[in-house]
Each structure stands twice: as structure tokens, then as C-alpha cells.
Amino acid sequence: MSTIFKRGPARPQANITPMIDVTFLLIVFFVLVSQIVDLENVDLELPAPDHAATRLPGEEPRAVVNVLPGPSGKSSGYRVAGESFEATPAGVQGLRSLLVELFQATPQMRVNLRADRRTAYRWVAPVFQAVRQAAVMADVGLDGASLNLVVVREDQ
């Protein structure tokens, strides 16, 4: 005995599930990446000199030292790689110790210095000393004791 199944016309449907999966993965990716970028770069008003004779940053490994702005030109501390240090001699010593560790892990590392344009120089100068001393302590050579001053270009 044969059975004949009566089938209606096929109804093609698009499966939206993988598309939604991909969309949510993209959202999660962008959220995570934006948090990582925020950890490295604090929102600062960087100096913007006229006719800036700057260069584009390279692809070399880097540590970003942010001088956190405080009221009336003071600084409330320093932040490197998500770690914060107070703007005190003890805080600068902690910053130097972290830089020594980072230099030892990555001797070819560059240090990017980001400071708010209103911050007084007395709060920026200790970073120079910390970087130079850390490079000497980690024995990374003369090239290590250099840093990049980060500014923005507004005349482009």
C-alpha cells in the first residue's frame, strides 16, 4: 500500500538567529574594546601647540602615563595601565617601581606622557625623573630613557 503525502508549497524562511548572534558578539566586542582604551587613555585636554612639529606614534610597545588633572593646575595623581598613584613622593616611587617592572618585561617599551594642558609643570617633572630612573634601574640602555610627549593637532 502506498501512501501519498500531500505537501503544500514550500515556505522559504530566513534564519535570523545567527545574524542576531553576530550582532551581539559585535556589541560585546566594542564594549570591551572601549573599556580597554579608557583604561589606557584618561580623558584629558591635551596641549595643542600651533604649527605642531609632531610625528605620528609608532607601533612599538608602549606604556601610557597619564597625569590626572586636579583643581587649579594641580594634579590628583598618575595612572599607568589601570593602576593609580598619588601625586606624592611615595606615589612617584610606586610609579617608578611599576615602570621598572614594565621595562624589564619589555625593554623596547616606549613611555607616552599625557598631561592636561592646564596642569602645572611641577606635577609633570616627577614623571621625567621616574622614567629616567626606571630605565637606568631596569638597564634598558640609553634608548630606553626617552619618552613621547602626547599632544593633539588641531590645525589639521
Partner 1 sequence: MSEPSARGEQLDLPPVRRRDRTAPPIGLNLTSMIDVVFLLLVYFLVATDFKQSEEIYRLDLPERREGMAIDPFELDDEPLRILVRNTGAASEDYRLDIEGARGTVRDFESLYEFLAARRIDGMGGGLFADDHPVLVVPSSGTSWSFAVGAFNAAVRAGYVNITFEESAS
Find the part of the chain contacting partner 1 (CB under 8 A) among 76-84, 87-95, 101-109, 145-153: 145-153
Find the part of the chain contacting partner 1 (CB under 8 A) among 76-84, 85-93, 95-103, 143-151: 143-151
**Strand partners of residue 80:** 65, 83
Single residue of 25, 29, 33, 54 touching partner 1 by CB under 8 A: 54
131 counts as binding partner 1 under rule CB under 8 A? yes
Single residue of 1, 4, 53, 90 touching partner 1 by CB under 8 A: 53
Q: Is 123 exposed, middle or buried (0-12, 13-18, 19+ CB in 10 A)?
A: buried
| Of the candidates 119, 108, 115, 114, the residue with the CA atom closest to the CA atom of residue 146 | 108
> Looking at beta carbons only, is 85 or 116 nearer to partner 1?
116
Dihedral of alpha carbons 82, 126, 105, 46, sign: positive
